[in-house]
Amino acid sequence: MAVRFLEETVQRFLSEQDINAFQMEYREVFDTIRRGQDTRYQDSLGWFHTLRYAGEAQLKAIMETADRVRTDGDAFVIVGVGGSNQAARAVIESLGSAGGMTVYYAGNTLSPYNLTSVLRELKDKSVYVNVIAKNFSTLEPGISFRMLRRFLTEKYGSESGRRVIVTGTPGSELEAISRREGYTFLEFPEDIGGRYSAFSSVGIFPMAVAGVDIRKLVLGAVDMERKLLEDGSFQNIAFRYASIRNLLARQGKQIEILSFFEPRLKFFAKWWVQLFAESEGKQGKGIYPSACEMSEELHSVGQFIQDGSPILFETFLQVMDSGAEYCLTDDEVEDGFHYLNNRELGWVNQVAYQATMQAHGEHLPCISLTVDRLDEYHYGQLFYFFMFSCYLSGSFMKVNPFDQPGVENYKRYMFQELQKVV
């Protein structure tokens, strides 16, 4: 993975001296975090060393359970919301599922239409369910699991319990339910929050069921971890990214748009949005994260980016190898696109990306991050890069990157109404 900063656009807003001065100011914070000496958040840093929950022994055990599901099932339902399903969904929806397994998602909505549609699609399939929750009091997964329990009981009777895999915190109510009902139990580590859980059973098990090569995913993360933790220079790519984000925020750039020209990054972008929104958005601080799927949204949001309020900066996540080729041959119809004859579609997409950077860079700061291709290894790199960068960035803002107190406010009002005696 390469990270390249577009100096011709960034330097209209930030000089190299500005960036270096900021890095000097926060050098001690960076070094403390990089060396693993930050004592403030030890109860939230289980993800910091990838192999803590994704070593070979853990991967082998996860694969054994996943193989059982893959051998007997052709439908797999992930029940989770937010960090409990975002990383797995990002990879599965991008790379696809193998071996005839269809993956469904529940626990992330309260829509009767959506949930009953899932149940209808499961009717004639061999179904397994993975319920993922660190705190099982969350309404969406609780309701979805109740609906799916009824479905499984009606379909499989006393055998239904063997088709449920629960990923929860040891000692939790969810574990107690799992033990009572005979479900398979996997650990949701206590010292990892949902949005940082890609390299634990939370993210890895669903990916394994879908046929993702989880060892390559972990290898990518390990290599990125080594790169970031060993590099103590100002050119450390995460240190530089986090520093530029914070400096731009000080200049009033309060929105960061993650723009991408590869639609397979759609659900990765949702993971990225949650990561930065929950980690930084507190105490009246934070950069609002948004995402744009290009080139489609050049014809909508692109207008605001180009000519709207100067309140944002843009980070491009570009994939160099799209994984497919198509040559635009001449079909002898005068359609006005003759200049594209014998051009590769991937080249056209790259030209659109470069032109967009050039145009947007005339108006706002642009950062470019590039990956060679979308595969397990590079997703591992991307997950770790952004998690580490977010840890740094939130720390520079002087907020706790690992809690989410604001999420609880709406729940208090909702449960007050739901628990009223009818």
CA dihedral 350, 352, 355, 357 (to 10 degrees): -80
Task: Say which DSSP state 101 is in.
Answer: P
- Strand-strand pairing, 255-260 and 288-293: parallel
DSSP 8-class letter at 48: S
User: Pairing state of beta strands 366-373 and 312-321?
Assistant: parallel
DSSP β-bridge partners for residue 258: 291, 315
The amino acid present at 295, given as its one-letter code, is S
Instruction: Give residue for tokens 């989880």.
Output: 214
Burial, 25: exposed, middle or buried (Cβ in 10 Å; 0-12, 13-18, 19+)?
exposed
Strands lying side by side in the sheet with 127-133: 102-106, 75-79, 127-133, 164-168, 184-187
Query: What are the angstrom distances between the C-alpha of 282 and each of 66, 73, 285, 398?
Result: 38, 43, 5, 10
List the catalytic residues: 278, 299, 411
Classify burial at 10, counting beta carbons within 10 Å of its beta carbon; exposed 0-12, middle 13-18, buried 19 or more.
buried
What's the CA gap between 195 and 82, in Å, rounded? 7
Q: Which two tokens stand for residue 286?
A: 């934070």
Instruction: Report the SS3 class of residue 336.
Output: coil
